[in-house]
Structure 1
Amino acid sequence: MTGPYVPPLVDHHCHGVARSGLSAEAFESFLTESDAPAAPGTTFFDTQLGFAVRRWCPPLLGLEPHCPPDEYLRRRHELGPAEATRRLLGAAGIADYLVDTGLTGDLTTPAELAAASGAACHEIVRLEPLAERAADTAGDVPSFLDGLATAVTDAAAGAVGFKSVVGYRHGLDFAPARPEPAEVRSAAGRWLAGRAPGERLADPVLLRHLLWSAADTGLPLQLHTGFGDPDLRLHRCDPLLLTDFVKAVRPTGCTLVLLHGYPYHRNAGYLAAVFPHVYADVGLSLSHTGARAEAVLAETAELTPFGKLLFSTDAYGLPELYVVGAELFRRSLTRLLTGWVEEGAWPARDAERVAAMIAAGNARRVYGTPGESFA
């Protein structure tokens, strides 16, 4: 495919991959946002994401494109998880991974991901586990709040950004203002008094306190928006619900990065267009829309300023998801920009520049990672 050159990518939002071998059922579980097996008589390979995996990944393991799922999984088992991961990540064309380390499970660390891929890895710290770990060791409210403040400060020293899943834990329709200290102490007391060991944080006051604590560090803050697993309520994850928080947090100088967005990706683009500290991301939207990824990327780029649109895969568990996310992004972006150049809407030199910005440069500028911003 000819068109603008797309440089090695910066995947600004992703996760570790499974260290051990996976059963067919476990593999399929990573092809969906559902928390249940496929309906009887069906398979999650029969989805846009499943078809994309079968198109782009088999050749990297020595098979024909579109080979049957059983053949692909047999070959993957023959190679073993380490070799399959090495081959797949090595072919993804990703130069930097910004890894959200907040998920549990037998997943690779950023250092292990770097070793398997040969790429640079940087950490994104998820906020909610910081509070949960502080609560696990706190004896009272003061020790909890002191421990949490220390945890946020320590995390900021080694990470390139924070992430919040407040959309999952409460919804994006939270009160936008910074909570008062007395309000935080009262909420912490209630939560600690009634908390079972290991219980997740869902208190809206403490979730807001985390957001504002992160904003005060000066690091970028990623916010999950749009679709995900059944733990969220999709109508409460529309990024437009963040409008008042976006306005309130602006004086801190914190950069907000709205992840995924789908099916509200146009709304995320609007916020990025009208607020200087808001950025939009294509994320797992492209992987899950597969053959329709070009249309989704085009819709995201309708309003989003090109210097504020970032690439990511949101890959989790399967190295295949890095390959699919990267391939769909590169091909979709190339087709879009080539079409705009051929019809005379864009000059070719600007298509090259914008492709480099979205692929890598914008992320390097936002997160301060080494490399050229292409602005």
Structure 2
Amino acid sequence: MSPTTAGPVYEAVARLPLVDHHCHGVVTRDPDLDAFESLITEGAAWPRAGVSPFDTPVGTAVRRHCAPVLGLPRHVPAAAYVARRAELGWREVNRRFVTGAGTRVFCVDTGHTPEPGTTPVELARCAGGTATSYEVVRLEAVAEQVMARGTEPDAYADAVARAAQEAVAGDGVVAVKSVAAYRTGLRLDPDPPSAAEVREAARRWRASGHRRLADPVLVRHLLWTAVELGLPLQLHVGFGDNDIRLHQVDPTHLTDWLHLMSGTIPVLLLHCWPYQRQAAYLAAVFEQVYLDVGLILHHAGPPRSRAILAEALEVAPFRKVLYSSDACGAAEFFLLGALTFREGLGGLLQERVDDELSLKDALRIAAWIGHDNARRVYGLRGRDPEHAVDRLC
């Protein structure tokens, strides 16, 4: 056995209880083959092209690593895999995969609900009696609800501030999130918009009749609203669905904004690929910046997870890197996210023992990234919200 797939660090990471600091709910139905294929791709299913999302690195990983969890042989055909899912039923499927991840804390973005899925409470139940969940409030969803109520442009800024305060006052809320990357990209004027600019932008938005917030002035307003709220702010960076314009979501576009808001709130850069090196640089030079490499680990698959993590850890402070799965819809992604993270980090740190790191240092770094950093940033130590649960799905 290779020394980088065995050893005390590798084995410790394999047992490490995880804090998944950014994830979503999973579906509460039994999807057919077409629906499941849509769940496992960030793009779209392309039936007319004859191309299946199962014929991708993540699709291969589902058939290789998830099939045995359902009692199937490895590399089972896609149709048989989905049929077995339906045979077991979504409750049992969700329980097996979420429990199998070994995650003990979930920070759940509740602002993305393309179809009905589990709440934070229900997700924690899937993981068993010792699991806990918290909520992350998506600011664009808050603003869109304000506009949908028919709020006048002159009242928009105050209404958003009140609605955001009410949203984060809920039990178990530990952070807010912006998806500016999807709406405008990150090449934004770093300065806070004036009251007149916000009123005029709100007027334009209302006149357009569109529900979706996509005005750069109002996106900037939300980023500064987050600063006022005082909670950690999660920002999507890099890889995502085809709403993303990838060249516009390099996190270094945020440099001037980070200078302006320095010393206020933690900023957590999510997923980051292919900009994990740029995100690591920002974490190295700005006190308030943290990062993860998130869902790219299971989309690239176990063979590449070590290399991606190695790039993120080239210059990033070890106390600035967190774990997330960004699992959404398909419960398999909780398992695959944890598996690829453990394989990648465990192998990387084991490889560096006796070269760059002592065994003690490697074990500390693993614990920091797996759970301690998230607990510190989000203030989770000692918290016991109503989301703590004591039963399975």
TM-score, normalised via structure 1 length:
0.95
Residue in structure 2 matched with residue 46 of structure 1 by the alignment: 55
Q: Is the 8 A contact 1:138 1:144 kept in 2?
A: no
Question: 1:164 corresponds to which letter in structure 2?
Answer: S
3-state SS, counterpart of residue 30 of structure 2: coil
- Does the 8 A contact of 1:176 with 1:245 survive in 2? yes
- Shift of residue 43 of structure 1? 1.5
How far apart are 1:270 and its partner, in Å? 0.5
Return the offset for 1:66: 2.4
Separation of aligned partners in 2, 1:366 and 1:260: 17
**Residue 126 of structure 2 aligns with which residue?**
116
Report Cα offsets for 1:87-140 as digits up to 9, x if no partner: 111111000110001112211111111122222110001110101100111341
1:127 to 126, 139, 142: 139
In the alignment, is the contact (CA less than 8 A) between 2:105 and 2:133 conserved in 1?
yes
Query: Which residue of 271, 284, 288 maps to 1:260?
Result: 271
Which whole-Å CA distance do the structure 2 matches of 1:140 and 1:171 have between them?
26
Residue 74 of structure 1 and its aligned partner are, at CA, apart by 1.6
Matches within 5 A, 1:56-135: 56-104=65-113, 105-118=115-128, 119-135=131-147
Equivalent residue for 1:235, pick from 238, 247, 269: 247
Deviation per residue, 1:13-46 (Å, 9 max, x gap): 1111010110111111122111342562332112
Residue 310 of structure 1, aligned match among 317, 322, 342? 322
Contact 1:227 1:234 survives alignment (8 Å): yes
The residue that corresponds to 2:389 in the other structure is none
- The separation in 2 between residues aligned to 1:140 and 1:182, in whole angstroms, is 14
Task: Name the amino acid aligned to 1:135.
Answer: M
Moved more, 173-182 or 62-71: 62-71
Aligned residues: 368
User: C-alpha distance in 2, partners of 1:357/1:39?
Assistant: 46
Question: Which stretch has the larger CA shift, 38-47 or 50-59?
Answer: 38-47
Moved more, 67-76 or 285-294: 67-76
Could you say which residue in structure 2 is the equivalent of 1:358? Answer: 369
Q: 1:16 aligns with which of 25, 44, 48?
A: 25
- After TM superposition, the structure 1 = structure 2 runs for residues 214-363 of structure 1, keeping only pairs within 5 Å, are 214-251=226-263, 253-290=264-301, 291-341=303-353, 343-363=354-374
Supply the distance in 2 between the matched residues of 1:152 and 1:334 (Cα, whole angstroms): 39
Q: Is the 8 A contact 1:138 1:147 kept in 2?
A: no
The CA deviation at 1:141 is 2.2
- Aligned counterparts of 2:186 and 2:48: Cα–Cα separation in 1: 31
The answer to whether the Cα contact below 8 Å between 1:38 and 1:44 also exists between their aligned partners in 2 is no
User: In 1, are the aligned partners of 2:45 and 2:53 still within 8 Å (CA)?
Assistant: no
Give deviations 1:49-80, integer Å, cap 9, x for gaps.
11111222122111222222222212111101
Is the contact made by 1:3 and 1:334 (CA closer than 8 Å) also made in structure 2? no
Deviations 1:284-319 (A, max 9, x none): 111111021111111111111110001000011010
Separation in 2, partners of 1:40, 1:142: 49
Could you say what secondary structure the match of 1:123 adopts? Answer: strand
Q: 1:154-173 to 2 correspondence within 5 Å? A: 154-158=166-170, 159-173=173-187
RMSD: 1.5
Distance in 1, matches of 2:151 and 2:307, equals: 53
Pick the aligned partner of 1:2 from 1, 7, 21: 7
Contact 1:54–1:66 (CA under 8 A) maintained in structure 2: yes
**AA at the equivalent of 1:2:** G
Shift of 1:329: 0.3
- Contact 1:29 1:37 survives alignment (8 Å): no
Task: Supply the AA of the counterpart residue of 2:296.
Answer: S
For residues 176 and 75 of structure 1, the distance between their equivalents in structure 2, rounded to whole angstroms, comes to 51
User: What amino acid is aligned across from residue 183 of structure 1 in structure 2?
Assistant: E
Moved over 4 A (4+): none
TM-score relative to the length of structure 2: 0.90
Cα distance in 2, alignment partners of residues 55 and 321 from structure 1: 13
Question: Does the Cα contact within 8 Å between 2:156 and 2:199 map onto a contact in 1?
Answer: no
Q: CA–CA distance in 2 between the matches of 1:51 and 1:294?
A: 18
Q: Gaps (5+ residues) in structure 1?
A: none
**AA of the residue aligned to 1:185:** R
Between the aligned partners of 2:265 and 2:350, the Cα distance in structure 1 is 35
